[in-house]
Chain A
Amino acid sequence: MAVELSVGVIGLASAIAITGSAIAAAWAEKAIGVAAIGAMAEKEELFGKGLILTVIPETIVIFGLVIAILILGLAG
């Protein structure tokens, strides 16, 4: 199955979009998650707040995903 070069490049571009944003989200969540666990060890009721703060950066990867899908749309 021969794929045109342009299609391959589009695929690669969307992969980069999702990779970069996923790494960024993971990085941010790591730092917040560690702090949240630390806070929870002191005060267990902070679970709800900790969870929220931890998952906030997830939006980054969602944006990456949306962009990736939009890029894939270029390939038709």
Chain B
Amino acid sequence: MAFRPELMSKVTIAGPKQYMEACISELHKLKAIHIVDHTKDADADIGKPMAKASGLSEALVRIRSICSWLGIKNGKEHTVKSAKEAQKLGHLISSLFHEVKGLLEQSKEIDSKINDNNLLISELRPLADTGLKMEFFSEYRSIAYFAGYTNDAKALAESIKKITGTFSIYGSQNGEGAVAIFIDSKSRDKCAEALREQKFQEINIEKLRQFRGTPNEIISGLERENGGLNAKKEKTHSRFSEIREEHSEELLRAMDFLEKEVEKAEAPLRFAETKSSFVVKGWIPSKNVQTAEEVIAAKTGNRIFFHAGSPEKKDDVPVKLNNPKAVSPFEFFMDLYTMPSYKEIDPTFFIFLSFPILFGFMLGDFGYGLATLALFIMLRKIMPQAKNFFNILIVSSLSTIFFGLLFGEFFGFEEIGHFTLPHILSRSHQIEELLYIAVAIGFIHVNIGLLVGFANEMKSHGFRHAFLAKLSWLVFEAGLVMVFLSMLGIISLSYWFGVGVVLLSAALLFIGEGARGPIEMPGLISNMLSYARLMAIGVSSVKLAEVINEMSGKMFHAGGVMIIVGVLILVFGHAVNIGLGLLGSFLHSLRLHYVEFFTKFFHGGAKKFAPFGEKK
């Protein structure tokens, strides 16, 4: 049944440890069991991973590092067929790992050397202005020296003159620049203080003492060295891309294989284990139970205990949605929100019905529908991994085309040439009617939600509760309608009669849902009014299209170069409008489902069925 998630059986598998590996391997191949992780208790501890697990994980970490270093990304699924192939891949990986790691270290070393050289160059450059060879900056017994920047060389010279007569200054004589000051060593401290006052920035000579010759010579030497280093770096990078091109397919294949093997080797961590036996608990779709039991029995020579039972009320059953192929893309919306719980109705089918209608009603343009249909068919080919999402949009585009015909719109035009497109309702002229229709759609949609809620409550809490909690809302609606009709004089009843029905429904709700029920009563009206957005977004899209058409029309009339501008406005304008329309229609349609529709019946919160062995 499409309205219920797949039936699940609660499964317990137990057996002696020597059959554990075979059992795991079969379960992994079956991709049918959702394992419930065991937590340590008085009876049994969790299992220990298989002995080979640590080696496998280490290899996996290596592959992942290689892939991340080389920027290789995983795309499609790969399979490793034979043990021989796996061994070959293993050798390849360990040699690649060492090579890539070595290259990476080398490239890092080169980078740091280049950086060091650049730093030295930047420190040497100012010394070049002093015109001194580096030999001058050695250690003297009776001479002290300072090298650095100053803002005002003249003032500096003056202040040193006051301290001692025996000194000489090289470099900049006036204004700012680099200078080297040589003085007798006795005046060193005083001179340092004077320099501080002058805001002199000293260069650290220590590191530069290793060099001989003029700074310019040294700089060009260092630059030559950097050139060589850069060439070396280039070489390592080209080797990287070589490896990437040659081995990326194999690496991905090996990664896939190891991921599976590691999952298998670590599976016992999710089991219960005693000294000589293991127990797996989990869920298997009822239709697969028999095959699973047979396969495991065959591979282990009937040495495994296998028990399947139906879920109990307190069980947290994982949910696998079960919908026909046409509907299943819409399960995307449940993934996005949360899985329905095992007992309740799966809303996917309702979304399948109403999502395209709401979407089409908002975008509702024959031309836009054709354009988006073509776009999404193309995108589905380019991005097959997002197939479900694009299938939803393709169905929605078809609905857009349908509503475009109803509204008689083609890229915002209601007439082409002198031919007026036939329409049932014009969105740009009959705004008020459109509003009423939108709210009427809301009325229907919300009530469907309430009826689904009734069915849900009926199943879980019985008729009395279901009636009080859900059908009271229908009584409330009936009361409201009666009040309006009698006030407008359409039915000849006192409006107090309608008020009475409303009060009755409030009382029923209070019994059914407690104080929350009556408090939420105005919310029902706001929920329905919320569907007015169907009109609002539709009209804004039409009006924007009309403006684009009008603007480009004027350009066409002007003629000449303006025709090009007109074409640009037309193409660009409609592209933007389609983009906005898609975004708005999608999000608002989604919102109407999640907020207005789901709140009437949906609980959700179940875990998604995640079978052991399926790629995450």
Contacts and interface: CB of A to CB of B under 8 A. Distances in A.
30 contacts: A47-B336, A48-B337, A48-B338, A48-B594, A49-B337, A49-B338, A51-B587, A51-B590, A51-B591, A51-B594, A52-B591, A52-B594, A55-B587, A55-B595, A58-B533, A58-B591, A59-B526, A59-B529, A62-B529, A62-B530, A62-B533, A62-B536, A63-B526, A65-B532, A66-B435, A66-B529, A69-B431, A69-B432, A69-B435, A73-B432
Interface string A61-75: 011011001000100
A9 interface: no
Contact of A65 (B336, B536, B587): B536
A56 B530 CA distance: 10
A59 B525 CA distance: 11
Nearest to A66: B532
Contacts of B431: 69
A28 to B, nearest CB: 14
Nearest to B590: A51
Contacts of A48: 336-338, 594
Contact of A52 (B435, B530, B595): B595
Interface in B521-556: 526, 529-530, 532-533, 536
Given A55-B587, A73-B432, 13 more contacts: A49-B338, A51-B590, A51-B594, A52-B594, A52-B595, A55-B591, A59-B530, A62-B529, A62-B536, A63-B526, A65-B532, A66-B435, A69-B432
Interface string B335-374: 0111000000000000000000000000000000000000
Interface in B576-591: 587, 590-591
B526 A56 contact: no
A55 to B, nearest CB: 5
**Chain A residues touching B, majority SS:** helix
**Chain B residues touching A, majority SS:** helix
A56 B337 CA distance: 15
Contacts of B595: 52, 55-56
Interface residues of A, number: 15
Nearest to B604: A48
Interface string B36-52: 00000000000000000
A56 B526 CA distance: 11
Contacts of A56: 595
A66 B526 CA distance: 11
Interface in B583-616: 587, 590-591, 594-595
Contacts of A55: 587, 591, 595
Contacts of A47: 336
Instruction: Give the top 7 A-B pairs by smallest Cβ distance, nearest first.
Output: A48-B337, A55-B591, A48-B336, A52-B594, A62-B532, A59-B530, A65-B536
Contacts of A66: 435, 529, 532
Nearest to A73: B432
Interface string B311-348: 00000000000000000000000001110000000000
A59 to B, nearest CB: 5
A59 B587 CA distance: 14
A62 B529 CA distance: 8
Contacts of B590: 51
A54 to B, nearest CB: 9
Nearest to B526: A59
A56 B591 CA distance: 9
Contact of A63 (B338, B529, B587, B594): B529
A65 B529 CA distance: 10
A49 B591 CA distance: 11
Nearest to A69: B435
A73 B431 CA distance: 11
A30 B432 CA distance: 30
Contacts of B587: 51, 55
Contacts of A65: 532, 536
Nearest to B338: A48
A69 B532 CA distance: 11
A49 B602 CA distance: 13
A36 to B, nearest CB: 13
A62 B587 CA distance: 15
Nearest to B536: A65
Contacts of B591: 51-52, 55, 58
B388 to A, nearest CB: 16
Contacts of A59: 526, 529-530
A31 to B, nearest CB: 18
B311 to A, nearest CB: 24
